[in-house]
Chains A and B, each alone.
Chain A
Amino acid sequence: MLVTTALVFVFFVAPNDASDLGFAQRIFYFHVSIAFTAYACFAGGAWNALRHLWKRDPRADLESYVCIHQGLIFGTLVLLTGSIWAKIAWGKWWIWSEDELVLFLVLYLFYCAYFMLRFSVDDGPQRANLSAVYALFGVVLIPVSFAAIRLAKAYFHPEVFTLHGPNFGGSILVTYCIVQAAMLVLGYTLYRLELGAKLLDVRLRRLREVLA
């Protein structure tokens, strides 16, 4: 419902960009919102990892894993929508010399390696502890990736938020807020769905062991 409202606002309420981007600027609403949702998921993963290390709670480890998995899905969407945006705005799908693009890719690959680490260790407390420490290190990359957008030099990457607040107002701001809320709610719903399935899987495995 919220996603549908967001789409209606993006295509029927938000105005065209005054610069040469015009209609293509409508990618921005989902691209930025998805990026913030991905950052939120990675931060959630780090928070749950900290909880796991603090209380040694196996559920916190599972929650951290699901958060990072969600972050990776949203990260994939950021890269895909960002590439389409780059093609329209800069005429190229990807530019290796741009720090903000490369740093987000580094962040993305860092979290891809999280899964390689996790599945290379046998299930148990050691795997949970190693994954938690890795997830905590990864959160450092989020502000670096975010700051890189402000340091973009050769090509102009739009700066959405400054120290003085958002760089836009009116219907654009309203549309952006609705899309952001929709993406956060979508992210949380998918997180709950996956976490529920994972918890059920764990309980079934234990039950099978008891019955065997």
Chain B
Amino acid sequence: MTTPEKYVTAAYCVVFAVVLVYLLIMALKLQRLERDVDDLAGRVPDEDEEETSQEPAQVG
């Protein structure tokens, strides 16, 4: 490999590495957001649970 070829390869590897690092950071951020969504979903009471916990009332 000649010197210019090494430099060109280095330049393209730098571009690839920076984009890859950025995507990795974004993936970690999305993972954290997913955990937050799960956490919030856990705090919201389940609809079925709410329905069964209600006492039956006589109508009419």
* Chain B residues, Cβ within 8 Å of A201: 33
Chain B 26-58, CB-CB to A under 8 Å as 1, else 0, gives 100110010011001001100000000000000
Is the beta-carbon distance between A76 and B18 smaller than 8 angstroms?
yes
Within 8 A of A (CB), among B1-41: 2-5, 7-8, 10-12, 14-15, 18-19, 22, 26, 29-30, 33, 36-37, 40
What's the minimum C-beta distance from A190 to chain B, rounded to whole angstroms?
Answer: 7
A204 proximal to B (CB < 8 A): yes
Is the beta-carbon distance between B8 and A24 smaller than 8 angstroms?
yes
Q: How far is A22 from B14 in the complex, measured between Cα atoms in Å?
A: 21
Is the beta-carbon distance between A81 and B33 smaller than 8 angstroms?
no
Is the beta-carbon distance between B33 and A200 smaller than 8 angstroms?
yes
What's the minimum C-beta distance from A126 to chain B, rounded to whole angstroms?
Answer: 26
* Chain A residues, Cβ within 8 Å of B44: 211
Is the beta-carbon distance between B33 and A204 smaller than 8 angstroms?
yes
Q: How far is A7 from B15 in the complex, measured between Cα atoms in Å?
A: 12
Is the beta-carbon distance between A211 and B40 smaller than 8 angstroms?
yes
Q: How far is A187 from B2 in the complex, measured between Cα atoms in Å?
A: 32
* Chain A residues, Cβ within 8 Å of B26: 190, 193-194, 197
What's the minimum C-beta distance from A72 to chain B, rounded to whole angstroms?
Answer: 11
**From A27, A186, A193, contact of B7 by CB (8 A):** A27
Q: How far is A208 from B43 in the complex, measured between Cα atoms in Å?
A: 10
A30-B11 contact in complex given A23-B2, A24-B4, C-beta closer than 8 Å: yes
The number of residues on chain A lying at the interface, defined by a beta carbon within 8 Å of a beta carbon of chain B, is 30
Within 8 A of B (CB), among A168-197: 186, 190, 193-194, 197
Is the beta-carbon distance between B10 and A84 smaller than 8 angstroms?
yes
A68 proximal to B (CB < 8 A): no
Is the beta-carbon distance between A27 and B8 smaller than 8 angstroms?
yes
Closest to A23 in B: B4
Q: Taking each of B5, B15, B18, B40, which has the highest tally of chain A beta carbons within 10 Å of its own beta carbon?
A: B15
Is the beta-carbon distance between A197 and B30 smaller than 8 angstroms?
yes
Q: How far is A76 from B22 in the complex, measured between Cα atoms in Å?
A: 12
Is the beta-carbon distance between B4 and A22 smaller than 8 angstroms?
yes
A77-B4 contact in complex given A200-B33, A207-B40, A211-B43, C-beta closer than 8 Å: no
Sample 5 A-B pairs with CB under 8 A, ordered by A number.
A30-B12, A73-B22, A80-B18, A84-B14, A208-B40
Known: A30-B15, A31-B11, A34-B15. 20 other contacts (CB 8 A): A23-B5, A24-B4, A27-B11, A30-B12, A73-B22, A76-B18, A77-B14, A84-B14, A85-B11, A88-B4, A88-B7, A186-B19, A190-B19, A190-B26, A193-B26, A204-B36, A204-B37, A204-B40, A208-B40, A211-B43
